[in-house]
Amino acid sequence: MSILNILRYPDPRLHKVAQPVTQFDARLEKLVADMAETMYDAPGIGLAASQVDVHEQLILVDISETKDALVAYINPEIIWASDEMQVYDEGCLSVPGIYDGVERHARVKVRALDVKAQPFEVEADGLLAVCLQHEMDHLKGKVFVEYLSPLKRNRIKAKLQKEERGMAREANLRAQGRRY
């Protein structure tokens, strides 16, 4: 297993639409294992393949306190959503340090395949419903900040771009053997 690089907003690759998974093989199992290690290391409760620059319909979710309830959802689709909506403060591994309220369906029913191509369905509410909708948005090329006002989104983009420049400058200085 290995830790994968998580794309950071506003990286344009986060907006690529993921394609359905068609091969259920050792490569897919390794991708799931690598993504799980990456998600737990970050630390996070969900991760979409799109966030690690693999544009296939695969998401991982583990909302358990003990981090031992990992579920891989392959080619997931929402087959039912409640009319009732709720607002949760969301964060994202691709938008580090940023949290804001997003309105989503309070309950959803999701159909997906597991790593052995076996179909299953999950009815979810609360945090699981939010997490599933959030991660499935990534597969459509959508990041949670796109639900926010343009003003908030632009401030977040500017802040993350500034942090990115600072990290690049620091890495360059380290490569030259200098520290400031």
CA distances from 59 to 45, 90, 142 (A): 11, 17, 14
Rounded CA-CA distance 83/60 in Å is 25
Alpha helices per DSSP H over the chain: 26-41, 126-139, 150-175
Rounded CA-CA distance 121/119 in Å is 7
Whether 92 has a binding-site annotation, put simply, is yes
Q: Could you list the active site residues?
A: 135
Burial class (CB in 10 A: 0-12, 13-18, 19+), 57: buried
> Using an 8 Å Cβ cutoff, are 69 and 63 in contact?
yes
Give 160-164 contacts, CB < 8 A, sequence gap 24+.
Answer: 160/8, 160/9, 160/10, 160/95, 160/96, 160/98, 161/10, 164/8
DSSP class of residue 44 equals -
Residues of the binding site? 92, 134, 138
- Annotated binding residues for Fe cation: 92, 134, 138
